[in-house]
C-alpha cells in the first residue's frame, strides 16, 4: 500500500540497507538529509538516467529511489505514477506492489546508490512483468549509472554550498564554470571523445591534426579536473547535458571502469 509520509524522526525503522555500515542507520539518514534531495521536484539529469536505464534493459519501469526512515521516495520514476512506497517490507516487495496487481513479477534488479564512504542512500532499479536475462556488462552499466546519480548528488551539494559563499570564494572550482571556460573547439572535441570517437577520426572530422586533438583533450582533462575518460564522460553528462547516443557511449565508458 502506498503511503504519503512527511519526513520525520524515525521510530523503529526496518532493517537498513547493506553497505559498509549496515548498523549505523541513524548516521546514514543524517547523510541523506544533508543532500537535501527528498521531496524535491523532478530534475532533467535524473530523468535522463532513468530513461537510459530503461532503454538499456528494455524494461517499462526504472526508478531512482532514496530510502528514508519510513518510505522509499522516488526522485525519478519512469513507467510508474507513484512517487513513493512505504518502507514496511523488503525492497522487492515494496516495488512489486506498485508494478503489478496480480503478484507476477518477471524481472527486478537494482544496484545501490552508495556514497564514497560506504553508506547506501537508496537504489537504482529496473523492473518488468516479463522475465529477462542479464549479463555482467549490463550490471556494470547499471552500476555506472548509479555512480552518475551519486555524482549528481555531489554536484547539487557543491552548487548549494557555492551559492551561499562570498563570490570571491567560489572561483573556478565550480564544475559549470570549468565547462564554460572551455573553448568552442574544446567543447566539440569533448562531445566527440564522450561519443567514443578515436583521436584519428576526430582529427579527420574537424580538419585538424591528431596531435592538436591530443593537446586539446589533455587541456580539457586538466581544466575539468577529470583523471580518466570515464570521469570526463560523467562530467559531460552532469554539466553539459548530453543526448541519448552520447549517454549510451558514456555508460559504456563509465562501465568499463567499474
Reported as a single tens digit per residue, the pLDDT across 215-248 is 888 887 777 777 676 666 666 666 555 444 444 5
pTM: 0.63
Q: Where residue 170 falls among pLDDT bands split at 50, 70, 90?
A: very low
Q: How far is CA 41 from the centre of its chain?
A: 16
Instruction: Identify whether the C-beta of residue 17 lies closer than 8 Å to the C-beta of residue 32.
Output: no
Q: What is the pLDDT of residue 169?
A: 44
Q: Give how far Cα 126 sits from Cα of 46, 57, 75, Å.
A: 14, 7, 14
Q: Are 129 and 40 in contact (CB under 8 A)?
A: no
Q: Is the pLDDT of residue 113 over 70?
A: yes
If one compares 173 and 5, the residue with the highest pLDDT of the two is 173
Average confidence (pLDDT) over 67-82: 91
- pLDDT computed for residue 16 by the predictor: 45
Annotated domain spans of the chain: 25-138, 165-256
- What's the pLDDT score for residue 64? 96
Q: Is residue 95 over pLDDT 80?
A: no
Q: What CATH number does domain 25-138 carry, 3.30.565.10, 3.40.50.300, 3.30.70.890, 3.30.450.40?
A: 3.30.450.40
Comparing 79 with 232, the larger pLDDT belongs to 79
Tens digits of residue pLDDT in 117-165: 889 999 999 998 888 888 888 899 999 899 889 988 888 877 665 544 4
User: How large a percentage of the chain has pLDDT more than 90?
Assistant: 23
The domain defined by 165-256 folds into Arc Repressor Mutant, subunit A (1.10.10)
pLDDT recorded at residue 254: 46
The per-residue pLDDT of the chain, averaged, comes to 75
pLDDT of residue 191: 77
- Mean pLDDT for 54-58 is 92
> What is the average pLDDT across 175-186?
69
Percent of the chain with pLDDT strictly greater than 70: 63
Amino acid at each position: 500500500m502506498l503511503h504519503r509520509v512527511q519526513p520525520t524522526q524515525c521510530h523503529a525503522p526496518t532493517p537498513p540497507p547493506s553497505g559498509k555500515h549496515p548498523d549505523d542507520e541513524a548516521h546514514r539518514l543524517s547523510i541523506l538529509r544533508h543532500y537535501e534531495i527528498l521531496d524535491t521536484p523532478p530534475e532533467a539529469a535524473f530523468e535522463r538516467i532513468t530513461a537510459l536505464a530503461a532503454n538499456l534493459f528494455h524494461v517499462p519501469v526504472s526508478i531512482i529511489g532514496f530510502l528514508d526512515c519510513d518510505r522509499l521516495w522516488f526522485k525519478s520514476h519512469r513507467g510508474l505514477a507513484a512517487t513513493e512506497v512505504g518502507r514496511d517490507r523488503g525492497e522487492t516487495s515494496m516495488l512489486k506492489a506498485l508494478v503489478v496487481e496480480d503478484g507476477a513479477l518477471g524481472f527486478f534488479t537494482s544496484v545501490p546508490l552508495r556514497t564514497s564512504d560506504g553508506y547506501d542512500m537508496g537504489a537504482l532499479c529496473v523492473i518488468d512483468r516479463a522475465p529477462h536475462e542479464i549479463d555482467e556488462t549490463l550490471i556494470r552499466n547499471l552500476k555506472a549509472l548509479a555512480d552518475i546519480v551519486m555524482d549528481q548528488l555531489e554536484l547539487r551539494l557543491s552548487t548549494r554550498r557555492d551559492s551561499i559563499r562570498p563570490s570571491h570564494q567560489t572561483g573556478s572550482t565550480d564544475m559549470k564554470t570549468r565547462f564554460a571556460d572551455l573553448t568552442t573547439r574544446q567543447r566539440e572535441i569533448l562531445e566527440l571523445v564522450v561519443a567514443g570517437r578515436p583521436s584519428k577520426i576526430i582529427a579527420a572530422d574537424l580538419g585538424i591534426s591528431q596531435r592538436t586533438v591530443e593537446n586539446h583533450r589533455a587541456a580539457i582533462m586538466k581544466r575539468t579536473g577529470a583523471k580518466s575518460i570515464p570521469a570526463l564522460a560523467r562530467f559531460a553528462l552532469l554539466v553539459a547535458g548530453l543526448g541519448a547516443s552520447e549517454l549510451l557511449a558514456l555508460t559504456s565508458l563509465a562501465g568499463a571502469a567499474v
